[in-house]
């Protein structure tokens, strides 16, 4: 995947990601007068998911925009791009958990047991609760499961590649 960025017909950079992942361009504008915060920016970022147990985040320089600017994004054929301004590895995230593998395994087992019990409760709810009550519980459990992944499971997986389940290899960590 590769795209070029130009502003007012002036080339800015070419962003490129070979292999699997995501390449995104974000045009963000906000006006927060109470905070004195006004901004018009173009950001191009990528997430390389081609490695089984490591994601690499890439960022190209942010482009400041003004009123009347014309932004052009052009999708290009595969090839080389400009070096990103910043690269980060998921294994280096400061939120990663547990240097001790045994503690990491204990947490994963605890979460697995808890999630199994939660899902059994959801199944019982479907049989005994009114549909709207069951729906509320399902949404609440879904939010809890999401947070388990974001706050506990993925921070362990990023640090302990050997514990990543096969189903999650090559996915966003």
**pLDDT at site 16:** 97
Predicted confidence (pLDDT) per residue in 46-95, tens digit: 999 988 778 899 999 999 999 999 999 999 999 999 999 999 998 888 88
101: pLDDT strictly greater than 90 = yes
- DSSP at 150: I
- The four Cα atoms 151, 154, 158, 159 give a dihedral, to 10 degrees, of 60
In which band, very low, low, confident or very high, does the pLDDT at 169 lie, cut at 50, 70 and 90?
Answer: confident
Q: What gap in Å lies between CA 46 and CA 118, rounded to an integer? A: 35
Structure tokens at 141: 């459990």
Task: Tell me the pLDDT band of 33, cut-offs 50, 70 and 90.
Answer: confident
In degrees, rounded to 5, the angle at the alpha carbon of residue 110 between the alpha carbons of residues 107 and 111 is 85
Residue 5 is encoded by which pair of tokens?
A: 């960025």
CA distance 137 to 122: 7
Distance CA 105, CA 3 (A): 41
CB 58 within 8 A of CB 86: yes
Is residue 4 over pLDDT 80? yes
CA-CA distance, 23 to 37, in Å (whole number)? 27
Helix (H/G/I), strand (E/B), else coil: 80: coil
Helix (H) or strand (E) holding 138: helix 131-148
- What's the confidence (pLDDT) of residue 53? 77
Closest C-alpha among 17, 3, 26, 158 to residue 90: 158
For a pLDDT cut of 70, what percent of the chain falls above it? 99
pLDDT winner (highest mean) among 48-52, 106-110, 169-173: 106-110
pLDDT at residue 167, rounded to an integer: 85
Q: CA–CA separation, 168 vs 173, rounded Å? A: 8
The confidence score (pLDDT) of residue 72 equals 97
173 pLDDT exceeds 80?
no
Task: Give the pLDDT score at 27.
Answer: 95
What digits encode the pLDDT tens for the residues 113-146? 999 999 999 999 999 999 999 999 999 999 999 9
């Amino acid at each position: 995947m590769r795209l070029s960025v130009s502003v007012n017909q002036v080339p800015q950079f070419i962003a490129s990601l070979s292999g699997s992942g995501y390449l995104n361009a974000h045009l963000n504008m906000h006006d927060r007068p109470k905070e004195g915060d006004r901004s018009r920016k173009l950001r191009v970022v990528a997430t390389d998911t081609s490695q089984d147990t490591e994601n690499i985040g890439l960022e190209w320089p942010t482009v400041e925009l003004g009123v009347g600017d014309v932004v052009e994004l052009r999708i290009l054929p595969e090839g080389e791009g400009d070096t990103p301004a910043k690269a980060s590895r998921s294994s280096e995230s400061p939120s990663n958990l547990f240097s001790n593998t045994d503690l990491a395994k204990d947490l994963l087992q605890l979460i697995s047991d808890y999630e199994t019990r939660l899902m059994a409760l959801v199944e019982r709810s479907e049989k005994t609760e009114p549909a709207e009550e069951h729906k509320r519980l399902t949404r609440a459990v879904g939010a809890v499961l999401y947070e388990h992944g974001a706050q506990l499971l993925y921070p362990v997986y990023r640090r302990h590649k050997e514990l990543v389940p096969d189903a999650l290899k090559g996915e966003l960590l």
